[in-house]
Structure 1
C-alpha cells in the first residue's frame, strides 16, 4: 500500500472488543515522545461519555461521539468531524479513531473510500485490533463484532498475555489465525507494543479486504448488533462513600460478571479531592485514583455498564445506596 500523499492525512482505526485495552493503547500513543501530533475521535456505546475523560491530558484535539455505534447511527457525524478537521489540518499530522467495542470496522473503513471528500484528503493507514487474551476464546463464537474486528485487522495487539498460560496463548493465536491468517500479531501486557509497529506503516490492504467482503466499496453495509447486548448509565452528583461503594462494586462484579461485558466509571468519593476510576471486564475488576478534580469541574459520578440482560434496577438501587447521606452533605456545607 502506498504512503499517503502530501495532501492526504493518515488515519489509524483502533478497534477491539469490549475491554480489550483500546484506551490504554490510545493513551500510550498520546503520551509517548514520538514527535507527532494527533487528532483523536472517540466513539462510545451509550448516552453518557466515559472514554473521553479516561484519555490522558494532552494537547491533541479530542472529539467524542456518544449514543450510537460509529458504524451505524453516527457515521454521518464521523464524516462531518473529519471534514471539519481537514479545514484545520495544520494543527495535527494524523488522525486516530477509537471505536466502541461493539463496532464492526467495515463501514468505518468504507468511509475513507466511498465519501469523495474524505477519500481525497485522508488515507486509511491501518486497522489496529486489540484483543483480550484472557476472554477472547469465551466470547468470539457469540460475538459477531469481535470476529469482524479480527477479520479486518492489519495489526493485532494480543493484549493481557500475563493473564493466560503459554498453552492458552497458543490456542488464542491459533483462533485468531483461523479468522485472519495475514495480520501481524504482537503480544503485549497493557499494550506495551513498539508504536512504530502500529503507526505509519501503510498496512491497510484493500485487495485483502475485498476478498473478505466483495461488496466493501458499494457503500451499503447491513450491520446488526446482538439484541441482548445493551448499555445503561448511572449518574449522581452526590458523593459516594468508598466504604460502601468498593465492597458493592466487588459484589456485583462477582454476581453479574459472566454477563457484564464491560463496566467503567469515574467516581467522586466523599472527602476525596481525586477522581477514582473503576473498570471491569467480566469478573476482572480494577480501580484507582486518577488525578485531582479540576477547580471548576463538576464532581459527578458516572458508571456505564454494557452487558447481556443485566438487571438495571438491582444495580441502580445498590449504586444509589452507596451515596453519602444528605444530612452529611448539609453538615459539611454548614
Structure 2
C-alpha cells in the first residue's frame, strides 16, 4: 500500500458502496484473496431478511460480520455498526476494516459514524469511500436523474453514491465499448470532479487505488453536503423498492429454475435490480450461487454441501413493485416432486411469472 495502514494509531476503514449489482462482493473477494499480508475485518450489510452476502464471500482468514436486518446502514442499522466496531477493538492484530454497504445505502450517514461517535472516532479513521459503478447500467439512472425523473428514487441514490466517493471504480467495462466507458467517465466527472476514477473488469482493481489511500477529506465532504454531520439528513428511500426473501427446503430442478428466471427477466427485467441466492440443485453436491440483475443472471458452482447438512435454497430479490406471492409461487414451481414447501412460510397464492 502507498499509505500506512494505521493513521495516528487508528484502524483505517474503507467504505465500499455502489448500486445493486455493481460488483461490490466481487471486489471484496478480490481484496481477500490478494497477497497483501493484512488482517481485514469485513462488515456486510444486507437489504433483506435472509442472510446471503456472507455466503457469497469466499472462505478466508478474515473476520466477516453480517447485519441482515432488512435495513440499510444509513438508517437504524448504524447503531449495529457502532456495536460491531466496538467489538472489533478486542481482536488481535486487526489491520483494516472493510464495510460493504447494501446497494440501497447512502454512504453519507455511514461516514458520519466515524465523526459523531466519540468512541469510534478515537479508534478508527475513515480512509476512503469507494463507489463501484456498473458500466452497463449506470447510464439509465443518470439519464433519469438529469431528466428530473429520479430525484427521489434509485437514480438519486446512484448520484449520491457517486458524489460522495473518494475513489470511483467503473466496473464491468467488458460489457460496453471503450467509447461508452469514456462517455460514462465524463458524466461521472460532472458529478464528482475530485474523485480518482479507475476502470475494471470483474472488479479486479489495483488495491493501491482503493486501500490505504488516506483519501477521505472531511472539508470536501462538508462542502459537497453541508448537512452531512447532522443527525437527520432526511435520507429518502423509494417505497416502491422492496426486498423479497424466499427460502425453500429441498432441491430445485435446474432446467425449471433457468426457465423461470428467463420468464421473470422478460416480465420484470427493468424493475428487477438484483437477484442473489444460494441454491440446492437436484443431483449436484455443491451449492449453486445465483447472481443477477435486470434481465441478466449467472449460476456458478459454490462450496460443497456438508454431510448431514439440510439442503435448502435461499433467494433474495430486490426491485420495484415486486409481488412476493408470485415470486414464491414461481420458485416453488421449480422444486423437485419431493419438496416444495416454503421454509417457515405458509403457501402463497398466485401463478409464477410467465406460467
TM-score interval for Structure 1 and Structure 2 normalised by the shorter chain: over 0.9
Greater shift in the superposed pair: 166-175 or 45-54 = 166-175
SS at 2:246 equivalent? strand
Structure 1 residue 186 and structure 2 residue 212: aligned? no
SS at 2:222 equivalent? helix
Partner residue in 2 for 1:275: 287
Partner residue in 1 for 2:320: 308
Superposed CA offset, 1:162-217 (max 9, x none): 11122221221122111101111101100111111110010101111011111222
Superposed CA offset, 1:70-102 (max 9, x none): 1102110000110111122x2421100000000
Structure 1 residue 249 and structure 2 residue 250: aligned? no
Q: 1:77 aligns with which of 63, 80, 103?
A: 80
Distance 1:225 1:192 in 2: 31
SS at 2:102 equivalent? coil
Task: State the TM-score, normalizing by the size of structure 2.
Answer: 0.89
Partner residue in 1 for 2:14: 12
Residues 1:35 and 1:248: Cα distance change in structure 2 (over 3 Å): same
Partner residue in 2 for 1:26: 28
Q: Which runs of 5+ in 1 are unaligned?
A: 329-334
Distance 1:170 1:302 in 2: 38
Q: Which runs of 5+ in 2 are unaligned?
A: 341-355
Distance 2:189 2:7 in 1: 32
CA RMSD in angstroms comes to: 1.6
8 Å CA contact 1:265, 1:278 repeated in 2: yes
Greater shift in the superposed pair: 108-117 or 133-142 = 133-142
8 Å CA contact 1:277, 1:289 repeated in 2: yes
Distance 1:315 1:220 in 2: 35
8 Å CA contact 1:253, 1:280 repeated in 2: no
Aligned length: 326
SS at 2:310 equivalent? coil
User: CA shift at 1:296, angstroms?
Assistant: 4.9
Structure 1 residue 201 and structure 2 residue 204: aligned? no
Superposed CA offset, 1:137-183 (max 9, x none): 11232321111111110111100111112222122112211110111
Task: State the TM-score, normalizing by the size of structure 1.
Answer: 0.94
Greater shift in the superposed pair: 233-242 or 215-224 = 215-224
Residues 1:296 and 1:107: Cα distance change in structure 2 (over 3 Å): farther
Greater shift in the superposed pair: 183-192 or 285-294 = 285-294
SS at 2:211 equivalent? coil
